[in-house]
Amino acid sequence: MRQAQKRRSGGKHRPWPLSQRPGYLIRRLHQIHVALFQDACGEFEVTPLQYSLLSALAVRETADQTTLAADIALDRTTTTGALKRLAARNLVERAVNKDDRRARLCRLTPAGAALLVKIEGAARRAHRATLGDLSEREQALFIEMMQRIVAGNPSRDSSAALFD
């Protein structure tokens, strides 16, 4: 089979333009979203990852770091670092779990809950701006397609859907 493919292409490597590669486009879209998020939410000094953690805690109220890592589909080490930074700003409380001294239970502080309320409108604007060049119908379809890709690859991350 490979020999037949080589003969058809003359044995030459045909480049695959970056602009046609899903992985490249997804990475660029992420970069664009992070920049739009910073533009909209920079005054709050919260990253998109930290915003996701604050949002997950608002839904769960109290959760251990492993559960939060799964909720936002991130590794525990990165999640723990982000939670430590949020705790240093008094936005999240991290207490040792009395039932499992190795685990930390997290929850929003009143300051964290207040920040989440303040940032919500700006964060939503950033998300809308990310898809701003698409019609409403295209936006809904794009979100649906991304959800299908994520749902079709459950073993590719450690998350369980929290925001269904």
List the structure tokens of 134.
């698409």
Got the DSSP string for 111-148? HHHHHHHHHHHHHHHHHHHHTTTS-HHHHHHHHHHHHH
Is 127 domain-assigned?
yes
Question: What is residue 12's DSSP assignment?
Answer: P
The CATH number of whichever domain residue 138 belongs to comes to 1.10.10.10
What are 52-61's pLDDT values in tens digits? 999 999 999 9
Cβ neighbours for 20, distance < 8 A, ≥ 6 positions apart: none
Distance CA 164, CA 154 (A): 14
Q: What percent of the chain has pLDDT over 90?
A: 67
3-state secondary structure of 106: strand
Cβ-based neighbour number of residue 29 at 10 Å = 13
Give the distance between the most distant pair of CA atoms in the chain: 68
Which residues span the domain enclosing 112? 25-152
Is 78 domain-assigned?
yes
Is 96 domain-assigned?
yes
Cβ neighbours for 164, distance < 8 A, ≥ 6 positions apart: none
Question: What is residue 102's DSSP assignment?
Answer: E
Strand partners, 140: none
pLDDT band of residue 100 (cuts 50, 70, 90) is confident
Total structural domains within the chain: 1
Global confidence as pTM = 0.80
pLDDT band of residue 13 (cuts 50, 70, 90) is confident
Is 131 domain-assigned?
yes
Report the mean per-residue pLDDT for the chain.
Answer: 88
Is 95 domain-assigned?
yes
Is 136 domain-assigned?
yes
Is 157 domain-assigned?
no
Distance CA 131, CA 133 (A): 6
pLDDT of 77 strictly over 60 = yes
11 in the Ramachandran plot: left (φ > 0), alpha (ψ -120 to 50) or beta?
left
